[in-house]
Amino acid sequence: MKKYIVLICMLMMAAYAGATEVTLIDKTAFETTLDGKEISLYTLRGGDIVMPVTNYGGRVVALWAPDREGNMEDVVLGYNNIESYINNRGERFLGACIGVVANRIAGGKFTLNGKEYQVPLTDGVNTLHGGNTGIDRVVWDVVSVTDNSIVLHYMAVDGEEGFPGNRDITMTYTLTDDNGFKIEYKATTDAPALINLSNHSFFNLKGEGNGTILDHELTINADQITRTSQNLIPTGELMAVEGTPFDFRTPYIIGERINSDHEQMRFGSGYDANWCINQEREGEITWAATLYEPASGRVMEVLTDQPGIQFYSGNFFGGWVKGKYGRTHKARESLALETQKYPDAINQEGFPSIVLNPGEEYTHTCIYRFSAR
């Protein structure tokens, strides 16, 4: 009888070990030099999650999280080699830190302290996520690495991509004991500058390449979005979500209203808008959103001290580029939830300011916390 008990325990342990297995990415496929700076891959572990990161663009390459049975899946999109990021043929911003100004600037134009600036247009009309290069296409310095954290640094010099000021940026990724992926940004400048950073990981809680995200359930802690024109530039008006497809104050299946004929939905070809987070106190870390995938039971909560969160439902993936596991990245098979200040804030009176002056410090905290139910 004792032998049978031991055998059963061994089988259970083997089954559990198989369920929680993580496929690590080959580090050597990320080891190269660009512009005289070394690129590599760093694998962080904390709680039950595992996250490989590269210092090229501060990109999250993979993020392994358990489902309700303990089965592990990689829930972010990415590539298994650095060449695919550098010479990218698909979505540019996979897993990257974006900026120095995340989101859009109308016409690439703004005025700061009476001086007019024109920065590169990324779509022929507006500037998106910092210009043609941005901080997603540079090699960050690795300040320090531990088992569960990495500190990255980048100096965006005055005039880079047309933006003023030497902006000294430090970004820390930490995996916490409660399965949180915590991002902390800090920045200073020697002259008046703009800064609005975010992370652009694309999530599918079923796992990369495992089908649609339209059956995911989403809740967003916001009563309003920033209404936009056809080219997704804010009009300056805050639009109430009540009675619209943008009302996620209670949980909704993403695909239930995504093909609505609402004007704002047509402009984005699906969800691509900034929600104004309900904050009791400015600058306080607040629950912003919860994403739930019913089949696996995986849950991702988003918390931040920022006033906005951009929900993009992955509408423009072409389906011709393969990810880490040989499956293609298709439209609406991943989504982004980007915490940040509002789009085009420098040109919109009344929006939270993205101006950073000498003697001030920009700070931003975002937490993606994983669980299962």
Q: What is the DSSP string of 279-328?
A: -SSTTS-EEEEEEE-TTT-EEEEEEESSSEEEEE--TT-EEEEE-TTS-E
With cut-offs at 50, 70 and 90, classify the pLDDT of residue 9.
very low
Indicate whether 67 belongs to any domain: yes
Average pLDDT, the chain: 94
Q: Which two tokens stand for residue 74?
A: 């990689």
- Residue 210, phi-psi category: left (phi > 0), alpha (psi -120 to 50), beta (remainder): alpha
DSSP per-residue string spanning 172-204: EEEE-TTSEEEEEEEEEESS-EE-B-EE---B-
Output the pLDDT for position 223.
Answer: 98
With cut-offs at 50, 70 and 90, classify the pLDDT of residue 5.
very low
Q: Are residues 181 and 275 in the same domain?
A: no
Output the pLDDT for position 20.
Answer: 61
Q: Which of 199, 228, 258 is the last residue of a domain?
A: 199
Whether residue 195 is predicted with pLDDT greater than 50 in this model: the reply is: yes
Nearest Cα to 22, choosing from 42, 52, 53? 52
Whether residue 364 is predicted with pLDDT greater than 70 in this model: the reply is: yes
Among 301, 333, 338, 364, which one carries the catalytic annotation? 338
Indicate whether 207 belongs to any domain: no
CB 75 within 8 A of CB 67: no
**Span 14-20, mean pLDDT?**
40
Domain extent at residue 291: 217-366
Whether residue 19 is predicted with pLDDT greater than 80 in this model: the reply is: no
Output the pLDDT for position 177.
Answer: 98
Output the pLDDT for position 4.
Answer: 38
Kindly state the DSSP code that residue 30 receives in the 8-state scheme. Answer: G
Indicate whether 86 belongs to any domain: yes
Look at residue 354 and give its three-state secondary structure: coil
**Span 6-31, mean pLDDT?**
61
Output the pLDDT for position 23.
Answer: 86
Whether residue 27 is predicted with pLDDT greater than 80 in this model: the reply is: yes
Find the DSSP H helices in the chain.
2-19, 82-86, 263-268
Q: Are residues 173 and 28 in the same domain?
A: yes
**Span 247-270, mean pLDDT?**
97
Q: Are residues 178 and 221 in the same domain?
A: no
Q: Are residues 314 and 183 in the same domain?
A: no
100 preceded by cis ω (within 30°)? Answer: yes
* Number of domains within the chain: 2
Output the pLDDT for position 17.
Answer: 35
With cut-offs at 50, 70 and 90, classify the pLDDT of residue 24.
confident
Q: Are residues 332 and 362 in the same domain?
A: yes
Percent of residues, the chain, with pLDDT higher than 90: 91
Q: Are residues 241 and 331 in the same domain?
A: yes
**Span 68-75, mean pLDDT?**
98
Whether residue 8 is predicted with pLDDT greater than 80 in this model: the reply is: no
Look at residue 113 and give its three-state secondary structure: coil
Q: Are residues 338 and 270 in the same domain?
A: yes
Q: Are residues 195 and 224 in the same domain?
A: no
**Span 295-319, mean pLDDT?**
97
Indicate whether 11 belongs to any domain: no
The torsion of the CA quartet 299, 304, 306, 308, rounded to 10 degrees, works out to 10
| pLDDT tens digits, one per residue of 111-154 | 999 999 999 999 899 999 999 999 999 999 999 999 999 999 99
Q: Are residues 231 and 185 in the same domain?
A: no
Q: Which of 142, 171, 199 is the last residue of a domain?
A: 199
Among 73, 91, 200, 364, which one carries the catalytic annotation? 200
Q: What gap in Å lies between CA 291 and CA 251, rounded to an integer?
A: 9
With cut-offs at 50, 70 and 90, classify the pLDDT of residue 16.
very low
Indicate whether 358 belongs to any domain: yes
| pLDDT tens digits, one per residue of 99-114 | 999 999 999 999 999 9
Indicate whether 236 belongs to any domain: yes
Instruction: Please say if 338 is a catalytic residue.
Output: yes
Q: Are residues 186 and 224 in the same domain?
A: no
Q: Are residues 126 and 192 in the same domain?
A: yes
CATH code, domain with 91: 2.70.98.10
Tokens 């039950």 locate to 48
Indicate whether 323 belongs to any domain: yes
Indicate whether 372 belongs to any domain: no
Q: Are residues 190 and 51 in the same domain?
A: yes
CA atoms within 13 A on the CB side of 333: 18
